[in-house]
Amino acid sequence: MADEWNPKILAIICNWCSYAGADLAGGARIQYPSDVRTIRVMCTGRIDMLFIMKAFANGADGVLVSGCHFGDCHYLAGNFKAAKRMFMVKNVLKNLGLEDKRFRMTFVSASEGAKWATVISDVVKTVNELGPSPIAEFKK
């Protein structure tokens, strides 16, 4: 299996900035790795910590949360509140013995198509370096 492993990475991103930024990267045909699957929510504030824990429990090798820059959230401050929760997620992951680098929160605006591509490449690279999630291995 090791030679055929493709990471399973989930991205939960906000409609107004990161999703739009990802669309922009597409319009500009900026190529990036194809390992990430996205779920769109209106704001990163919507993201329950359980979503992320669930993804890891289900064997995700990496999870990305991406929203608007601070001060630019379409709903004023959803991303601040999300960021606070995401710190907690990192702590929980660490306590569980999972590399917290598998989880990341980034801020990509609607005009940052190129940044979106960089973020994805970087996330994929990190997860590739870490290898398959131990939970995924265990589930097999």
Partner 1 sequence: MAEKEEARVGVFICHCGTNIAGSIDIMDAVEYAKTIPNVAYADQYQYMCSTPGQGKIVEAIKEHNLTGIVVAACSPRLHEPTFRVATKEGGLNPFRFEMANIREQNSWVHMHDKESATAKAKDAIKIAVAKAALLEDLIPKSVPVEHAALVVGAGVGGIQASLDLASAGIKTYLIEKWPTVGGRMSQLDKTFPTLDCSQCILTPKMVDVGRHPNIELMTYCEIEKVEGYIGNFDITIRKKARGVLSPDEATARGIVGGGCNGCGDCAEVCPVIKPNPFEMGMAPRKAIYIYHAQVMPLLYTVDFDACVKCGLCVDACGDKKAIDLEMEDEFITLKIGTAIIATGYNLMPIENKREWGYKQFDNVITGLEFERLICASGPTGGHLIRPSDGETPKSVGFILCAGSRDNTGNGKPYCSRFCCMYSLKHAHQIMEKIPGTKVYLFYMDIRSFGKMYEEFYYRIQSEGAKFIRGRVANVLEDPQTRNLYVRAEDTLLGRPVEVECDLVVLAAAVQPVDEEDVIRKHFGVSKSQDGWMLEAHPKLNPCGTTTAGVFLAGVCQGPKDIPDTVAQAEGAASAASIPIHIGQVELEPYFAQCMEELCAGCGMCIDLCPYQALALVDRSDGSGRKVMSVTEAKCKGCGTCGGFCPGGAIKMQHFTSPQIHAQIDAFLCGGEQ
Name the site residues for ligand FES (rule: CB under 6 A): 14, 16-17, 43-45, 67-68, 73-75, 78-79
Cβ distance to ligand FES smaller for residue 51 or 75: 75
The sign of the dihedral angle between the CA atoms of 34, 50, 5, 121 is: positive
- For the bound state, the minimum distance from the C-beta of residue 7 to ligand FES, rounded and expressed in Å, comes to 25
Place of tokens 């999630």: 133
| 88 lies in the site for partner 1, by CB under 8 A | no
Q: Which residue stretch of 93-101, 111-119, 123-131 sits at the interface with partner 1 (rule: CB under 8 A)? A: 111-119
Only one of the segments 40-48, 93-101, 124-132 lies at the binding site for partner 1 (rule: CB under 8 A); that segment is 40-48
The partner in contact with residue 30, picked from ligand FES, partner 1, none with C-beta cut-offs of 5 to 8 angstroms by kind, is partner 1
HEC profile of the chain: CHHHCCCCEEEEEECCCHHHHHHHHHHCCCCCCCCEEEEEECCHHHCCHHHHHHHHHCCCCEEEEEECCCCCECCECHHHHHHHHHHHHHHHHHHHCCCHHHEEEEECCCCCHHHHHHHHHHHHHHHHHHCCCHHHHHHC
Using CB under 8 A as the binding rule, whether residue 82 contacts partner 1 is answered as yes
- Contact residues for partner 1 (CB under 8 A)? 6, 8, 10, 12, 15-17, 19-20, 22-27, 29-32, 34-35, 37-43, 45-48, 50-51, 54-55, 58-60, 68, 71-72, 74-78, 81-82, 85, 109-112, 117
